[in-house]
Each structure stands twice: as C-alpha cells, then as structure tokens.
Amino acid sequence: MSRIRKAYQVRFRTLLQQARARRLEQGVEWLVARACRLSASEQVPQAEAFTRVYDQLATRAHFRRPNASPPSVIFWCDAGLGGLARWLRAAGYDARWRPDIADDELVREARKTAATLLTTDSLLMERRLLRDGIVPGYWLPPTLGIPEQLALVFREFGLTPGEPRCMSCGGELRRAEKEAVRDRIPPKTYRWLDEYFVCARCDHLFWRGTHWTRIQQQLRRVGATGGAAHRM
C-alpha cells in the first residue's frame, strides 16, 4: 500500500469520526476506492485524486471541525516545512522549526509544548503518539507548494490571521521607538517610515516595507487578511 494512500486513510477516518459515521471502516474504503477511480478515469496522479476527494469532503459543513483553533495554537513543522513555518509566523502563529531536527526529537518537542505537528512524512503519522492522538498531527501532501500548504492548514484548523510574528524565529514583535533604533535603520528607510518593531526573541529589527506588502497580498490569496514585516 502506498504511503500516500495510507496517509489519506488516516485523514478520511478522522473526518468520518468527526461526523460520527456509523460504518467507519466501510466509509474509509469507499472514499479510497472513489479516489482510485478518479485517478484512473481522469489520468491524474493518485496524490492529486486523494487530495481532491478529501477536499470535497472536508469543505462540507457536516465534516468541518466544530471549533476553530485558539489564537495561541503552537505548530511544530518537520525539517522539510521551513517555508510553511515562516508563512505561519507571518500570519501570526507560533510555528517552531529546525532544519536538522530528527523525527524522535520533533515528536518529543511537539508533546512537550502541546503543539500540533505538521509533516509531509506519512510514516511519521503512523507512530503511536500521533496515531492515538496523544500528539496532534496533520499530514500535508508532499506535492503541494508553500501557498497550497498554507491554505490547507488555514482551512483545516479554522485559522484567521493575527498580528505577525518574527518570520525568522517566531518571536513576538514589539513596537520600538524610532529614535531608540535609529542606528539600525537604513537612512532611506528612516526618512519615509516611522513605525518599527523588534523581535522579543531574537532582537531583529522589522518594518512594514514593500516586502510586507507582498506578504500581505500572498496571505489574501489564501483567504487571509494581514501581513508581516520586513527584516533588517
């Protein structure tokens, strides 16, 4: 059985459990068969077919999560999801990520911080702590680009954008007096901007420049409104 198929069996089962389906395993197998038929009839990759079937089901009101995640939700992204972590931070969420983190440590950190683990590794989702829901986990198809990953996480967890966090480390951004950080501001930027922020965790200086505008536009494309700051 392919890893993608096994991962989607888990996702289908979760959706059906939320809807309190009576014939859980039969429902899962029916959805798997539907995706396989779609792949064969339209000559599309299985990953795309499974994603389409899941999306069609997940967007129905009966299958949506009953409550949106609280604003304080923490995410731990696996080693391959650094780009997603940065965008979640831009949208105001505490997204932890380390490029060299091993799977064992990733699971431990997610459990220790009561975080939701985000991964593209279907085998990781089969670990007991994730399979039994002790550590909340969510699998993302590895074929998705960052914008699609972000849109999927926003929809799955009912996220709405908040105040942007530091895109480098995820720390909170605190307003700084312009004159107090004057020596850190490029002269041209100092002349046309008055609002500056400093990360409480890594001390990087931010401001809302053209980079902030581009990020804001991208967030709108995934159904969000808000933005992030440019880092010096």
Residue of 149, 139, 145 lying closest to 119 (CA atoms): 139
Query: Are 115 and 76 contacting, i.e. CB atoms less than 8 angstroms apart?
Result: yes
Q: Which stretches of 84-213 are assigned E, i.e. beta strand? A: 94-96, 116-119, 137-139, 173-176, 196-199, 205-207
d(CA 218, CA 232): 21
d(CA 189, CA 186): 5
Portions of the chain given CATH number 3.40.50 = 74-157
207: β partners:
196, 230
User: Can you give the pLDDT at residue 204?
Assistant: 92
Verdict on whether the full-model pTM lies above 0.75: no
H or E stretch covering 230 = strand 230-231
**Helix or strand or coil: residue 139?**
strand
197: β partners:
175, 206
**Helix or strand or coil: residue 173?**
strand
Written out in words, the top-level CATH class of the domain with range 74-157 is alpha beta
Q: Please give the residue that has the higher pLDDT: either 67 or 75.
A: 75
In the predicted structure, residue 10 carries a pLDDT above the cut 50: yes
pLDDT tens figures, 91-125: 889 999 999 999 999 999 999 999 999 999 888 88
pLDDT tens figures, 172-210: 999 999 999 999 999 998 988 999 999 999 999 988 877
Burial of 191 per CB tally in 10 Å (0-12, 13-18, 19+)? exposed
Query: Are 11 and 27 contacting, i.e. CB atoms less than 8 angstroms apart?
Result: no
